[in-house]
Amino acid sequence: MSRHSIAVIAGDGIGTEVVPAAITCLERIAQIHSLNLEFTHFDWGSDYYLRHGRMMPVDGIEQLANHDAIFLGAVGSPEVPDTESLWGLLIPIRREFQQYINLRPVKTLDGVASPLACKEPIDILIVRENNEGEYSEVGGRMYRGLPQESAVQETIFTRLGISRAARYAAGLAASRTGRLTSATKSNGIIHTMPFWDEVVDETVRDYPGVSVTHELVDALAAHLVLKPWTLDVIVASNLFGDILSDLGSSVTGSIGLAPSANLNPEGAYPSLFEPVHGSAPDIAGKGLANPVGQIWSGAMMLEHLGHPGAAAHLRAAFESALRDGHGTRDVGGTNSTSEFTAAVLTAIDAHAVEHAGAEAGSAAVGASTP
Ligand code: GGG
């Protein structure tokens, strides 16, 4: 029996609702596929901050380092400054564990209506650079409260950071259609973005079957809304990737559906799996949250841990629950979080025979989408 220790940080708001829902599904999948998933829960997040003045303990990173993967819900609370909730937990984890790829699939699912008039299927992989770029603590504030108050925020791009994101994205593109789109803004951002373009081009030259198109991020945002089905793999900086993936998931029906994997592709450190959505304080505690993004992130985690058959089984289950009309309110349905989770559990059992023992291979770590 394969054993994996998984650190769980449900975090804030709806994270505390969708994480237990997803773990129930993962436990059922583990039973069927003879996996031993050991979940260790950490009560870190905004409530912890209000009690201790920090989002996680001083030795939080060391505590997480002993696990095979990290399963995160959401961070963010109206009672805690956003800079604290993000820079006190998620960003240090991404950086300390060199999770330099944030893989964010964007895909239409049967049973979920897209707001777009044209119903062509969408199947995009967004590769977001996850360790540098616009997310930088370099800078500062001067003359607070005075008329000359000013703020400087430096954007940091390195050859290493750009090339490893481009290499990962090109590898994915090579295993799919060979089409890679790079998000740029080299007409306006005149130092970092031409550098980004050059390093992407140099890197992609090593992949003869891959052609890269540079699209200005504003035009690419419009492209995602007007003709998303013509896009395949997108590589983008930290900020551009974050914005494009929220937009992309909304185009497929709801940000509540969107999963993500924060990957250390070398496996030297644990990778982290989380839905793209945040803590959604407006609906927290009401049983309205859509657990698909969290469950799908769980499937990406299973795939990363070397269990593509179990991952495919879990994806098939939530897909079939959606197809059968069991949606939460954000996708036009009437299910509560627990009703939808019950429908996924039923579908897991219904698909057990066809998926049990089928550990079919996949092309890239965490890349497979339903
Ligand atoms: N699901 C994790 C979460 O709560 N994310 C909120 C957020 O603001 N993330 C920013 C980011 O991914 O950079």
Q: Which of 273, 207, 266 is nearest to 73 (CA)?
A: 273
- Centre of ligand 1 to C-alpha 72, Å, is 10
Active site residue 135: no
Give me the half-sphere count of Cα atoms (radius 13 Å) on the Cβ side of residue 247: 18
How far apart are alpha carbons 78 and 84 in whole angstroms?
Answer: 11
- The best mutation among 86, 131, 135 to test binding of ligand 1, ranked by most ligand atoms within 8 Å of the C-beta, falls on 86
pLDDT at 7 > cutoff 70: yes
* pLDDT of the residue at 362: 40
What domains are there in the chain, each with its CATH number?
A: 1-99+267-357 (3.40.718.10), 114-252 (3.40.718.10)
pTM: 0.94
Per-residue pLDDT band at 363 (split at 50, 70, 90): very low
Condensed to tens digits (0 to 9), the pLDDT of residues 205-255 reads: 999 999 999 999 999 999 999 999 999 999 999 999 999 999 999 999 999
Active site residue 119: no
Show the ligand 1 pocket: residues with CB < 6 angstroms. Answer: 72, 74-76, 86, 242, 274-275, 277-279
Condensed to tens digits (0 to 9), the pLDDT of residues 128-153 reads: 999 999 999 999 999 999 999 999 99
- The best mutation among 75, 94, 240 to test binding of ligand 1, ranked by most ligand atoms within 8 Å of the C-beta, falls on 75
Which ligand 1 atom is nearest residue 102's CA?
Answer: 12
Per-residue pLDDT band at 107 (split at 50, 70, 90): very high
Give the rounded percent of residues in the chain with a pLDDT score beyond 90. 92
How far apart are alpha carbons 92 and 86 in whole angstroms?
Answer: 9
pLDDT at 369 > cutoff 50: no
Q: Which of 50, 58, 90 is nearest to 279 (CA)?
A: 90
Active site residue 246: yes
pLDDT at 177 > cutoff 60: yes
Tell me what the pLDDT averaged over the chain comes to. Answer: 95
pLDDT at 164 > cutoff 60: yes
- Centre of ligand 1 to C-alpha 85, Å, is 9
pLDDT at 30 > cutoff 60: yes
Condensed to tens digits (0 to 9), the pLDDT of residues 53-92 reads: 999 999 999 999 999 999 999 999 999 999 999 999 999 9
Q: H/E element holding 310?
A: helix 308-323
Amino acid 281 reads P
* pLDDT of the residue at 71: 98
* pLDDT of the residue at 357: 65
- Centre of ligand 1 to C-alpha 274, Å, is 8
pLDDT at 361 > cutoff 80: no
Which ligand 1 atom is nearest residue 82's CA?
Answer: 8
Nearest CA to ligand 1 atom 12: 242
pLDDT at 366 > cutoff 90: no
Per-residue pLDDT band at 370 (split at 50, 70, 90): very low
Per-residue pLDDT band at 358 (split at 50, 70, 90): low
Distances (CA, A) of 98 to 94, 153, 265, 272, 359: 6, 22, 9, 11, 28
Coarse DSSP helix, strand, coil percentages of the chain, rounded to the nearest 5 percent: 40, 20, 35
Distances (CA, A) of 312 to 208, 280, 341, 353, 366: 30, 28, 17, 13, 11
Q: Which residue did the predictor score with more confidence, 356 or 138?
A: 138
